Structure 1
Amino acid sequence: MANVLVVDDDADVAELVRTVLSIAGHEVTVATDGEHGIAAASAAHPDLIVLDWMMPGMTGIEVCRTLRQDSSFDATRIIMLTAKSAPSDIDAARGAGADDYVVKPFAPRELRRRVAELLAS
């Protein structure tokens, strides 16, 4: 399966996502903030990143933009997983380079489906 990085400052959400994707057969690493997320991504070059938007310090949008400026992450899929649900938020995330957008609270089955679809594309 895939190597997945979860970047979320909420330990409960990060653990839920880790569990859901691990059960689906993925190898999952967790980073607790944007700076650690970039470091973990640079070290492992994951196939997919599940990225929270609202984190202290560096936001998920900033992480997404930073990674997308590095051509070595061109094949890495990024899903924003956030409570922000306005159409303008979705547009901003897509503009930053996110491949998909999932709103919290989320259904684990839906997240698994979206991850599978992105990895298959």
Structure 2
Amino acid sequence: MTSILIADDDFISLEVLKAMLSQFPVTVHTASNGPEAIALAENIQPALIILDYEMPAMTGAEACQQLRLQPQFADTPIIALTGHQSPTELNACRVAGMNETLYKPVSPEALAATLASYLPQLAK
């Protein structure tokens, strides 16, 4: 089964995304900060990673940068998750190598479109 990793320090956001992903044939793994996300990603090798921008210890962009340094994550889709749309934050995500940005609150349609783009085998 396809694995997806979501990192967000907000428990409610994690639960909402997990609920939305429950309609897809995926295994969802969660982390609450950047270092935990990196360690989990190295362990499970997810097909897609969603990183909240604003987390303790390191931002989602910083976690993405660390992952992109590893060859096994060179082509893994990494999606930014943010409640903000500041140019500084969006630029940091782009520079870090994030493929796309999802904005909170994430709609089921936006999440489904992202999955269809990066994991077409899951498209309904």
Greater CA drift, 64-73 or 108-117: 108-117
What's the TM-score once normalised by structure 2's chain length? Answer: 0.90
> 1:37-52, aligned counterparts within 5 Å?
37-52=37-52
CA distances 1:37-66 after superposition (whole Å, capped 9, x unpaired):
011000001000011010111111110000
Matched with 2:56 is 56
Matches within 5 A, 1:1-121: 2-120=2-120
RMSD: 1.6
Tell me by how many angstroms 1:2 deviates.
2.2
Give the secondary-structure state (helix, strand or coil) at the position aligned to 2:118.
Answer: helix
Identity of aligned residues (%): 38
| Alignment length (residue pairs) | 121
- Per the normalisation by structure 1, the TM-score is 0.92
Comparing 90-99 and 5-14, the one that deviates more: 90-99
Could you tell which deviates more after superposition, 9-18 or 85-94? 85-94
Q: Aligned partner of 1:110: which letter?
A: A
Q: Give how far 1:106 is off.
A: 2.0
**Counterpart residue identity of residue 117, structure 2:** E
Contact conserved, 1:6 with 1:30, CA < 8 A, in 2?
yes
The amino acid that maps onto 1:47 is A
8 Å CA contact retained: 1:24, 1:112: no
| d(CA) in 1 for partners of 2:102, 2:42 | 24
Q: After TM superposition, give the deviation of residue 75 of structure 1 in Å.
A: 2.4
Moved more, 109-118 or 85-94: 85-94
What amino acid sits opposite 2:118 in the alignment? L
1:89 Cα shift? 2.4
Q: Which runs of 4+ in 1 moved over 6 A?
A: none
1:88, CA displacement in angstroms?
A: 3.6
